[in-house]
Structure 1
Amino acid sequence: MLIDTTLREGAQLFGAYFNLSTRKKIAAGLAEVGIDEIELGWIGQDNLGTLAEYIKDISKDTYLSVWTPCREADIMKASKLPIDRVNIGVPVSDLHIEERLGLDRNGLLHRLSSAIRTAKAFGIEYVSVGMEDVSRADPDFALTVAAHAKNCGASRIRLSDSLGQLTPKSMEKLIETFRNHVKIDTAVHCHDDFGMATANAVTALECGADYADVSVLGIGERSGIAATEELAAYLALRCGKKRYSTQKIKALCSMVALEAGVVVPRTKAVVGEDIFACESGLHTHALSKSPELFEPYQPESVGISRKLAVGGKSGKAAVKSALKDCGVENDPKDITALTMAVRQLSSRLKRPLTRSEFIKLSSGEHLS
């Protein structure tokens, strides 16, 4: 299951500011994609209740949650919102416990127990405990925190690789350790500081984690976290999870990119404009016959169109195929010369040829 935190983690992106209208559009888009749980933001943000009511009206099977620090006053505020779950953040590495909170380990456990019991007393049935900086924590103490959270009434722990330290192999070990020692719903929050967030999140789910945090385009603090579009597409197109509507993903990503001021690379996995564009001779010819040879899924499944073009990398077979697609009759003996002309013009322009350029070139027109 996916927990999208674009409206909490994503909103922490440097320079990103989402007003209520934008937050509604993002949340609605996430519901359309089929995201299981939407983290609507953090306690202290404006209009959380309004946002929650809006989503409840348009989606009946999406869990709504908010993030709160491990403070009773904030948890009481969360209990007044029309949400399903509360995510309580608590650091578990000694560095954070001592330097950030000014506590020792026993003090942290006491504060956590008070927070969870307050949440339960105020009617919050599903409490999630986000164990921050778990990848730098003492493993035995991290397990102690998880067991303590469960004993106090928590329903889920969320293991946060806060600085993106883990690899898929170490993530596998982490999940297996917690799953073997504490019987509780387990989520992961994988940061992308070394480019492994999506891989780590997928590994966690494959190893038995129940949830993975994601955000649209992976936006968040620093280099962000695992990307919503990548996890949803992988689960839908590779694992057969029918809940996720991947055709809706590109539109959602485009909207978030615009609102957050983020440029989407043309080769971005799942939603890049050119991920199904090809001019390489062998690949272009093969794609014209059997697309599955070089495509992991159909472009239409993620709202993208295939683009085939001839250019400096094209061979005679690709040129012949392009002539056929354009409805151009050409003497086969001219194919070699035309192929050379295509390559030369493409190299001069430093790009593949447009359809009109190719048709003109095939007719013998000189293009400067």
Structure 2
Amino acid sequence: MLLDTTLREGAQLFGAYFTIDTRKQILSSLLQVGVDEIELGWIGQSELTEFSTYARSQTSSIKLSVWSPCREADIRAVAKLPVDRINIGVPSSDLHIEKRLSTQREVLLERLVANINVAKECGIPYISVGLEDVSRADELFALQMALVAETHGASRVRLADSLGQLTPLTMAKLMNRFRDALSIDIAVHCHDDFGMATANSITALECGADYADISVLGVGERSGIAATEELVAYLAIKQKDTRYAPDILKRLCEFVASAAHVSIPRTKAVVGTDVFACESGLHAHALSKSPELFEPYDPEQVGITRKIRVGSKSGRSAVLIALNEYGLVDEANTLAQEYITDVTKAVCQLSCKLERPLTEDELGDVWKETIHGVEVH
């Protein structure tokens, strides 16, 4: 299952400021995508009461949660909100326990138990305990924390690779260890510092994790976390999970990119404008015959249109196909066959000069000039 935290982790991106109207729009799109849980923000965030009330009015099926530090006052504040779950964050590595909290393991365990009891006393039905920096923690102690959380009534343990230290292999080992020991839900929160957040998240799900945290475009602290569009597309298309709607992803990503002031690389997996664009002669020719030869899935599944252009990398077959598709010639046209070598050469020259593939109009101009000897400017 997918826990989207664009409204919490994503909102922590440097320079990102989401207004309440922006949050509402993101929420609406996430509901359409069909994620299983939406983390609405963190306790103390501006307008959280108003926003959580609005979010509750929009859905009764998708779980809503709020993040809180392991503090009694904050947990009691979450209990007053119309949400289903609380996500309590607590450091698990000695580095954080000693240098950030200036405390000891035993004291931290006592604090964790006390605050789980507060959440239960407040009637919060689903308590999630996030073990922060678990990839740098003493694994036995982190497992002890998870078992203590389970014993005292937590519904989920959330393993946070806070600095993106894990690889798929080490994630698998970690997940197997925790899955064997726990009966409650397990979530993973994978940061992307070394570019492995999506791979680590998918590995965790394959190894028995119940939830993987995601954020649209992966936005979040530093290089962010696993990307919503990548996990949704993989599960919906590759794994045939019908709960998720990947056709919503492109417009959701474009909205978040604008709101967060980040750009979407044209080669960005799933939603980049050019991930289904082709200029290479061999690939373009093959795509014209059978798209699945060089496409992992139908681009329409994620709201993208296939784009084939001719340029300096294109051969005669690709140029001839383009001339035919643009209605400039019939593929069997004798004139086209006679001049295709010259047209292809001219296409290559103009493409090199412009340093890009040609547009439909530019290809038409090349055709006219080559065939009719008419110089077109």
TM-score calculated relative to the size of structure 1: 0.98
**1:292 — aligned with what?**
292
**2:365 — aligned with what?**
360
CA–CA separation in structure 1 for the residues paired with 2:326 and 2:106 = 74
SS at match of 1:22: helix
Preserved contact between residue 143 and residue 182 of structure 1 (Cα < 8 Å): no
**1:345 — aligned with what?**
350
CA–CA separation in structure 1 for the residues paired with 2:310 and 2:275 = 16
Deviation at 1:267, TM superposition (A): 0.4
CA–CA separation in structure 1 for the residues paired with 2:78 and 2:279 = 54
Preserved contact between residue 37 and residue 63 of structure 2 (Cα < 8 Å): yes
SS at match of 1:363: helix
**1:139 — aligned with what?**
139
Q: Deviations over 1:111-134 (max 9, x none)?
A: 000110000000001000000000
**1:266 — aligned with what?**
266
CA–CA separation in structure 1 for the residues paired with 2:19 and 2:123 = 29
**2:183 — aligned with what?**
183
CA–CA separation in structure 2 for the residues paired with 1:116 and 1:248 = 37
CA–CA separation in structure 1 for the residues paired with 2:288 and 2:376 = 27
**2:90 — aligned with what?**
90
Q: Deviations over 1:137-195 (max 9, x none)?
A: 00110110000000110000000000000000000000000001122200000000000
**1:73 — aligned with what?**
73
Deviation at 1:212, TM superposition (A): 0.4
**2:326 — aligned with what?**
326
TM-score calculated relative to the size of structure 2: 0.96
Trace 1:217-296 onto structure 2 (pairs within 5 A). 217-296=217-296
Deviation at 1:367, TM superposition (A): 4.9
Q: Deviations over 1:223-281 (max 9, x none)?
A: 00000000000000000111111111111100000010001100000000111111100
CA–CA separation in structure 2 for the residues paired with 1:253 and 1:58 = 21
Deviation at 1:101, TM superposition (A): 1.1
Divergent runs of 4+, >6 A = none
Preserved contact between residue 312 and residue 352 of structure 2 (Cα < 8 Å): yes
**1:216 — aligned with what?**
216
**1:160 — aligned with what?**
160
SS at match of 1:232: helix
CA–CA separation in structure 1 for the residues paired with 2:328 and 2:271 = 33
CA–CA separation in structure 1 for the residues paired with 2:132 and 2:256 = 26
**2:41 — aligned with what?**
41
Q: Deviations over 1:45-85 (max 9, x none)?
A: 12223222222222232100000000011000000000000
Preserved contact between residue 11 and residue 220 of structure 2 (Cα < 8 Å): yes
Preserved contact between residue 53 and residue 81 of structure 2 (Cα < 8 Å): no
**1:104 — aligned with what?**
104
Preserved contact between residue 133 and residue 160 of structure 2 (Cα < 8 Å): yes
Aligned CA RMSD, in angstroms, stands at 0.9
Change (3 A) 1:128 1:324: same
Preserved contact between residue 312 and residue 346 of structure 1 (Cα < 8 Å): yes
**2:4 — aligned with what?**
4
Change (3 A) 1:202 1:367: farther
What are the ranges of 5 or more consecutive residues in structure 1 without an aligned counterpart? none
Identity of aligned residues (%): 62
Matched to 2:307, the amino acid is: K
CA–CA separation in structure 1 for the residues paired with 2:159 and 2:301 = 32
Preserved contact between residue 250 and residue 271 of structure 2 (Cα < 8 Å): yes
Preserved contact between residue 157 and residue 184 of structure 2 (Cα < 8 Å): yes
Change (3 A) 1:214 1:337: same
Matched to 2:375, the amino acid is: H
CA–CA separation in structure 2 for the residues paired with 1:274 and 1:6 = 24
CA–CA separation in structure 2 for the residues paired with 1:137 and 1:328 = 65
What are the ranges of 5 or more consecutive residues in structure 2 without an aligned counterpart? none
- 1:15 paired with 2:15, answer yes
Matched to 1:204, the amino acid is: A
Between 123-132 and 43-52, report the one with greater CA deviation. 43-52
CA–CA separation in structure 1 for the residues paired with 2:10 and 2:376 = 48
CA–CA separation in structure 1 for the residues paired with 2:250 and 2:319 = 31
CA–CA separation in structure 2 for the residues paired with 1:252 and 1:315 = 37
How many residues are paired up? 368
CA–CA separation in structure 1 for the residues paired with 2:36 and 2:181 = 26
Q: Deviations over 1:204-235 (max 9, x none)?
A: 00111000001000000000000000000000
Deviation at 1:366, TM superposition (A): 3.4
CA–CA separation in structure 2 for the residues paired with 1:213 and 1:319 = 45
Deviation at 1:99, TM superposition (A): 1.1
CA–CA separation in structure 1 for the residues paired with 2:135 and 2:376 = 59
